[in-house]
Structure 1
């Protein structure tokens, strides 16, 4: 027959009560034969009161009051002249006493976990005078524990982590169960631990509750989490003990025990030759079963004819290798490249070097595709010099462009009129010869910058651009001019030889600082003897007439 928890507790209570009553009956028998009875089991020779502890079993579930013990005084001759009274903790409410016999009973169910003992005072009175026949005496009723509390994991459920590949016996976490029963009495609060779920991967130390690994080489990549059920059982794990359970979620944390591996031994990518420098041409990724820093890797080009043309870097977010262009591609020069690329872990764990190199190789082939490119001029900038005296139609220079594609389509030339708004120049569509279309004037525009367009005959959308800087050379086609209109005022008392005005001239022709001007008076002015003019090698000084002195 199996007993439930409640039925088993009741069984223990009844058994303890029977043992207690048996002990009381034996004490009563001894008292009747010899000296007066005391609950402590001792007798006195000089005094009537000697008190020790009474014991009462907790959690009594019977219908009648629970017998606790008996108070008795040597003065009591059994004739009813003595009455007993009880005071202190729980007197009258929990504990009652038969004033005639001194028998003490508990009227309520007691719980040791709520209160472990009660301190009371007893007194024997003369029933007629109501005066004490003995000094008041204090005694204790101690609640005797039964195993009525199961162990509890107050901190559960638990979570813990342990590195994968840990050796057997590696500590994971410690679990602790508490039992509210009396640890000083019996085995009610003595707990042992066992594992109900989680074998054979983990074990638990029975006395300490320390969980440890039980299998070697547990692999996170195969299984990264385990759910354990741990049991704590009191009564040192014996039959009839109460138990409680908790769960422990153990996560295997990653270690770098997996090298990177390319899923393919070779890759091929097609890219147009027109792709700009720094453009991405390929993304490759080595797979790594590890996670976090253990999966971080770096890529490098270790061999191949693409060294210097391409470079590879790592995308920190995706751990991909990013291949980009370092130099312009030209299908006409080279149609394909081969790259030998290595992927290697950045954080290698020395414990696993015996597993082999933590790197891998693959080959990336890049095919350059031909693109219909615009014509290319033989020079990016042409410089031309022409005199401003050149006649209309004068040839001033020639430009040349060609189609870089294999088709080598013929080229036709034109001038971008946005750079030659007044149409000073023309170009022969077939030969690229540039001629003047208008008279040139250096003083109006000393330099002309024009753009020449080269267009493929077979594909007019493909247009190349060349740039021509045309410098106009000066001729002496401008007369000197006075710098300003001069108007001079002379005082009537001016002295002969006094300077009254300086005059100067300018010339629009080159060179601006190298002209030599010659000054003289007109014939009409020369007949006026009041003024003279002195040519000062480019600086002109007129004088008031009178005694003429040269300046």
Structure 2
């Protein structure tokens, strides 16, 4: 390091010496062994006339230079002389004192106040501070009065090449696709140099590769790194270490340098096809394997990675394309062969498949290398297994008439053992599906018989399950559903669809429809119901009513004449015979009740009660309403009377010794005798709450009593 610093100082000072010698005389410069000199004009405090005379006598005034230079990193046994302050007012009488202030004055720079010499007392670093601004002033030694205004000047720290280039962001990482062409840009790196970039070549950098050839190259000035070999293969080598150097001084001898590393990774491209690990695969599978089960796996290896190694698998040929399928496992990158349809060892014992693996993502740059796919052969051997019985049909539909005899055969199920051994089969009914035990099955031949009578009107369908079990291996069982439909027979007679009650108006007209009735039948004939209606033979010549069949399978009852009277006959019963169209036909007799009623002129029924019809002669409906109103009014008056009596606290109950055992009765008519004494009860007089109550006379019609009560109260 000392030798390099000495060489640097020699290289630096040599041009400075030549520069100082050749400077023009108007800009004064001290020789090599003299410091820089700053010269000033006349001192302050002279008269204006003297100042003007001095100006005329002197061709130049003021500071000759306004800056000085000091070399950085210079160290010696004594402080280094930077320069000298001098004013042309100084006659050498030592009556002038020089003062220095500003950046570093007294700490970094020291001045001789008599001679004006400025020394650097500390070692300077341009990279820490490049220049210092100071103020120079000449004052009178005795009075300290300024001889002229203060002036600023700059001391610049002169750079030497003392800083090596640095890669601040290193080490570096970069990627480039494999198989890239020559000169493909990889990345660029940048170094920094703390030296002065405008002075000399201390900060002029040149880049080079120390390690990494012949794969990569670098541009000396821009530091752009490029591939130096074409078609580098990631599968051969994936990662490269490149050592990069930056050297200052333009790369010349004596310059400082710094290094960094760059790791270049080749990224994958799809330049390799998949390849099966073997050309022939063998798998075995039991014939009773569940659908969707994985039979085996095949794998095609690909030297690429990531999505470039992804392959899809397909079955492209073979005699088992309908029974097997292959799917791609994205995680394991292999093909999974699965069963699509059931196998049967007794039918076919082996299958051959041709499978293909093809890349999913094809790079068109390498498509000319050939197809990015591969094929392999798969042999699948079917192994025999003990299979459960197989029914001749997956479901059975049986029909039976509801009047079928017990133990009659309804139908039959059949099953067989598909294995070569062909075990005998036993049949049974799953009683969870036949809780009432209405059916039986023959254990040997599978014939289903009727155990209990059936009624279609209770249940049309019966669903049972038949179980087939191998005799040699009871664990091998099969089940089959059996649906039994109960067919209808004509075993129910028709009847009225509802409880009908007809009303006949006294003022009705002959031929008027009294009632329309319909019938129902619990049976279900194929062509629908058709009913026949008739009267009993002894009622065919009924003088009062007749019947008429309607097109909608209903029946209308008509009156033959008018002049019906409730007094003469209040209710008529009309038996009607209803027959169905079954084979053989069934019939029943339903009776229709017909009541004779009083109706309005427009045919609205008002009353069908005979007692309401038998009223006293001359008492109209208006009179009845008036009587009812009077009764209500009387009840209201009695309630008010009782209420007022209670407010006056007058007891209405008569003591025992004061009981009056007699009834006071007033009659406006004669007769009645002892019956009239029962019009009132003595208990009523003793019960305030029942003071207004009364009992009707025994044996007297209600209407008559109400009339008499109305006469007594004056309402009539």
Normalised to the residue count of structure 2, the TM-score between the two structures is 0.66
Is the helix fraction higher in 1 or 2?
A: 2
2:524 equivalent to 1:510: yes
Aligned residues: 538
Distance 2:463 2:30 in 1: 143
Instruction: Please give the alpha-carbon distance, in whole angstroms, between the structure 2 residues aligned to 1:128 and 1:421.
Output: 140
Give distance in 1, aligned partners of 2:355 and 2:30.
Answer: 106
What's the CA shift for 1:285? 1.9
Which one of 86, 108, 115 corresponds to residue 94 of structure 1? 108
- Whether the aligned pair in 1 keeps the contact of 2:507 and 2:563 (CA below 8 Å) is no
| Pair 1:377–1:46, CA change in 2 (3 A) | same
- Structure 2 vs 1, CA of residues 382 and 125 (structure 1 numbering), >3 Å: closer, same or farther? closer
Rounded to whole Å, the distance in 1 between the matches of 2:90 and 2:459 is: 147
CA distance in 1, matches of 2:318, 2:37: 100
Contact 1:300 1:312 in 2 (8 A): yes
* Residue 362 of structure 2 is aligned to residue 362 of structure 1: no
Q: Which runs of 5+ in 2 are unaligned?
A: 42-57, 565-716
Q: CA deviation at 1:67?
A: 0.6
Give yes or no for the alignment of 1:441 onto 2:455. yes
SS of the residue corresponding to residue 250 of structure 2 reads: helix
Partner Cα separation in structure 2 for residue 122 and residue 473 of structure 1: 134
Counterpart CA distance in 2 for 1:129 and 1:448 is 139
Using the TM superposition, name which of 283-292 and 435-444 deviates more. Answer: 435-444
Partner of 1:263: 277
In the alignment, the residues of structure 2 paired with residue 510 and residue 25 of structure 1 have an alpha-carbon distance, to the nearest angstrom, of: 137
The structure having more radius of gyration, on CA atoms, is 2
Query: In the alignment, is residue 520 of structure 1 matched against residue 527 of structure 2?
Result: no
Confirm or deny: 8 A CA contact 1:40 1:52 kept in the other structure.
no
2:605 alignment counterpart: none
RMSD: 3.8
Which runs of 5 or more residues in structure 1 are unaligned?
A: none
Separation (CA, whole Å) in 1 of partners of 2:465 and 2:144? 137
Residues 109 and 504 (structure 1), Cα distance of their counterparts in 2 relative to 1, 3 Å cut? same
Q: How far off its partner does 1:498 sit?
A: 4.1
- 1:9-408 to 2 correspondence within 5 Å? 11=6, 15=10, 39=36, 46-47=59-60, 49-51=63-65, 53-123=67-137, 127=141, 139-353=153-367, 355-408=369-422
**Residue 178 of structure 1: CA displacement?**
0.9
Once the two structures are superposed, what CA deviation does each residue of 1:71-95 show, in whole Å capped at 9, x if it has no partner?
A: 4455544443444444554444433
Give the conservation status (yes or no) of the 8 Å contact 1:270–1:368. yes
Q: Which moved more, 1:362-371 or 1:443-452?
A: 443-452
Q: How far 1:58 moved relative to its partner?
A: 0.8
Structure 2: how far apart are the matches of 1:262 and 1:26?
86
Match of 2:549 in 1: 536
Distance change in 2, residues 1:333/1:81 (3 Å)? same
SS state at 1:285 partner: strand
Distance 1:354 1:495, change over 3 A: closer
Shift of 1:423: 2.6
Give the Å deviation of 1:405: 1.7
Alpha-carbon contact 1:86-1:97 (below 8 Å) kept: yes
